[in-house]
Amino acid sequence: MHGIGKRRWVIAEGYLPPPDARLSRQLSSHETACMLNAGDAPAQVTITIFFADREPAGPYRVTIGPRRTLHLRFNDLADPEPVPTDTDYASLIESDVPIVVQHTRLDSRRAELALMTTTAYACD
């Protein structure tokens, strides 16, 4: 199957609540870029993180295998630098083959969960 989607995506919202060591990985606060590579070739993905008051960070590089989804937590990005917590950011996701990107945040700063999601903005 040929790939489905676009090669450039933007998630303009980004915010990682401060971590809480008492919570499991499933229930701790996180922001995720859910990416689908429906095609038959691997997707080489590059992520750039933009901030309010400094130059962008990155590029961060990940590979998504053919016919695979990757739900990438921004909290897990480490190279070239971690994404700071309690800081506004935005992200640009570029792939060498078409992919689809959806953004999700699970927030557990309070006792209960809060969730939000949106299809990211696809660039022509």
Decide if residue 11 touches a copy of itself (CB under 8 A): yes
Nearest distance from residue 21's CB to a copy of itself, in Å?
A: 18
Nearest distance from residue 78's CB to a copy of itself, in Å?
A: 19
Q: Quick one: which of 46, 59, 62, 102 contacts a copy of itself (CB under 8 A)?
A: 102
Instruction: Please report, as residue ranges, which positions from 52 to 91 form the binding site for a copy of itself (by CB under 8 A).
Output: 52-53, 55-56, 67-71, 86, 88-90
36-66 exposure pattern, b = at least 16 Cβ within 10 A, e = fewer: bbbbeeebebebebbeeeeeebbebebebee
C-alpha 95/C-alpha 21 separation (Å) is 33
Instruction: Using the minimum distance from each CB to a copy of itself, give the nearer residue, 25 or 78.
Output: 25
Nearest distance from residue 79's CB to a copy of itself, in Å?
A: 20
The contact set with a copy of itself (CB under 8 A) reads 4-5, 8, 10-15, 26-27, 32, 34-36, 38, 50-53, 55-56, 67-71, 86, 88-90, 92, 100-105, 107, 109-123
